Amino acid sequence: MRIAFYAPLKPPHHPVPSGDRRMARLLITALEAAGHEVEVASVLRSRDGAGDPARQQRIAALGSRIAARYVRQVRAGRRRRPDLWLTYHLYHKAPDWIGPNAAAALGIPYVAAEASVAPKRAGGPWDLGHRQAVRALGRADAVIGLNSADRACVLPLLADPARWVPLAPFIDAAPFAAARARQAAHRADLAREHGIADGVPWLAAVGMFRPGDKLASYEALGRALRQVGSDWRLLVVGDGEARPAVEAALGGLGGRVHRLGALPEARIPGVLAACDLYVWPAVNEAYGLALLEAQAAGLPVVAGRVGGVPDIVGDGETSLLVPPGDDGAFAAAVAALLADPAQRRDLGATAARRVRERHGIEAAADRLDALVRCLIDRAVRGVSC
pLDDT at 383: 57
Average pLDDT value for residue range 83-101: 97
Statement: the pTM of the whole predicted model exceeds 0.85: yes
pLDDT of residue 74 exceeding 80: yes
Give percent of the chain with pLDDT exceeding 90.
Answer: 91
Provide the pLDDT for residue 353: 96
**Domains with residue ranges and CATH for the chain:** 2-170+360-381 (3.40.50.2000), 174-358 (3.40.50.2000)
Per-residue pLDDT, 139: 96
Give the whole-number percent of the chain exceeding pLDDT 70.
99
- What's the confidence (pLDDT) of residue 378? 87
pLDDT class of 385 with cuts at 50, 70, 90? low
Residues 176-210: tens digit of each pLDDT:
999 999 999 999 999 999 999 999 999 999 999 99
Average pLDDT, the chain: 95
Q: What is the pLDDT of residue 379?
A: 82
Buried/exposed code over 139-176 (b: 16+ C-beta within 10 A; e: otherwise): bbbbbbbbbebbeeebeebbeeeebbbebbbbbbbebb
Residue 38 confidence (pLDDT) above 60: yes
Q: Is the pLDDT of residue 384 over 70?
A: no
Task: With cut-offs at 50, 70 and 90, classify the pLDDT of residue 19.
Answer: confident
